[in-house]
């Protein structure tokens, strides 16, 4: 259990700080909670859009480290391949839910700020370009399964693998968190939603908490040789 929870005190302390900051920002500006979508208030959509990334990252933390250190999922589901497929399905649902929840939030809170439409579209298109290049680079050079965390399920296979330095990974060692999460900003920009932009910012900051206190320590252990 201690291996699973290693560095997670920092994770939870920073998460609490992010949630408190989020509350203070919302409290200072009532327009952040204006509107509704599908007869559901913006407040509820915002709560959902914050809950989903927390659930996603806790899911990955527990699954990755349970499997990495104890082969826990493989024991439960019979073998490593089946365990990874089931984990990957849960990961995909939660990952897509991050974007969907922000889209619904942006529709609920649309037009909560004013800006030049052309400028907004230029920004949205600009940030979408590295995101598209990232997904191309992951598929061509990194591998979808490895992006899901296959190295946690088969560390012996990956411990001597070199880090990928092609495609977008020539420019950054962590393209997925640097550029991949830019996609979450696009709904808030297009719909001019303060709440959606705040949710996107939370997602983008919180994923780095996952990186520094879960993924990076795991990487150092898997690729220790």
Q: What percentage of the chain reaches a pLDDT higher than 70?
A: 99
Report how far residue 90's alpha carbon sits from residue 77's, in angstroms, rounded to the nearest whole number: 14
pLDDT for residue 225: 59
> Does the pLDDT of residue 152 top 80, yes or no?
yes
> Does the pLDDT of residue 204 top 70, yes or no?
yes
Report how far residue 64's alpha carbon sits from residue 70's, in angstroms, rounded to the nearest whole number: 10
Give the mean pLDDT of 15-33: 96
pLDDT for residue 143: 85
pLDDT for residue 223: 85
User: pTM of the predicted model, to two decimals?
Assistant: 0.93
Give the mean pLDDT of 170-189: 90
pLDDT for residue 210: 96
pLDDT for residue 159: 79
Strand, helix or coil at 161? coil
Burial bucket for residue 126 (CB in 10 Å: 0-12, 13-18, 19+): exposed
Report how far residue 114's alpha carbon sits from residue 92's, in angstroms, rounded to the nearest whole number: 34
Strand, helix or coil at 40? strand
pLDDT tens-place string over residues 25-58: 999 999 999 999 999 999 999 999 999 999 999 9
Please choose, from the candidates 56, 225, 224, 88, the residue with its C-alpha nearest in 3D space to the C-alpha of residue 153.
Answer: 88
For the record, the structure tokens of 12 come out as 């939870």
Give the mean pLDDT of 103-122: 95
pLDDT tens-place string over residues 82-92: 999 999 999 99
Report how far residue 186's alpha carbon sits from residue 79's, in angstroms, rounded to the nearest whole number: 39
Please choose, from the candidates 207, 152, 143, the residue with its C-alpha nearest in 3D space to the C-alpha of residue 179.
Answer: 207
Please choose, from the candidates 77, 73, 58, 78, the residue with its C-alpha nearest in 3D space to the C-alpha of residue 150.
Answer: 73
């Amino acid at each position: 259990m201690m291996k699973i929870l290693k560095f997670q005190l920092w994770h939870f302390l920073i998460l609490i700080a992010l949630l408190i900051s989020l509350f203070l920002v919302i409290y200072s500006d009532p327009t952040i909670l204006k509107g509704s979508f599908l007869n559901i208030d913006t407040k509820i959509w915002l709560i959902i859009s914050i809950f989903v990334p927390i659930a996603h990252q806790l899911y990955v933390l527990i699954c990755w480290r349970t499997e990495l250190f104890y082969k826990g999922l493989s024991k439960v589901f019979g073998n490593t391949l089946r365990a990874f497929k089931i984990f990957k399905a849960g990961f995909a649902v939660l990952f897509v839910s991050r974007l969907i929840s922000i889209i619904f939030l942006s529709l609920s809170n649309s037009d909560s700020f004013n800006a030049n439409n052309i400028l907004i579209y230029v920004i949205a298109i600009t940030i979408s370009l590295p995101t598209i290049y990232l997904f191309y680079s992951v598929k061509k050079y990194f591998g979808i399964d490895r992006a899901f965390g296959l190295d946690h399920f088969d560390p012996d296979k990956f411990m001597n693998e070199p880090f990928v330095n092609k495609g977008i990974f020539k420019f950054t060692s962590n393209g997925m968190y640097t550029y991949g999460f830019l996609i979450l900003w696009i709904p808030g920009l297009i719909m001019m939603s303060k709440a959606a932009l705040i949710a996107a910012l939370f997602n983008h900051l919180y994923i780095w908490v996952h990186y520094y206190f879960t993924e990076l320590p795991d990487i150092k252990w898997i690729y220790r040789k």
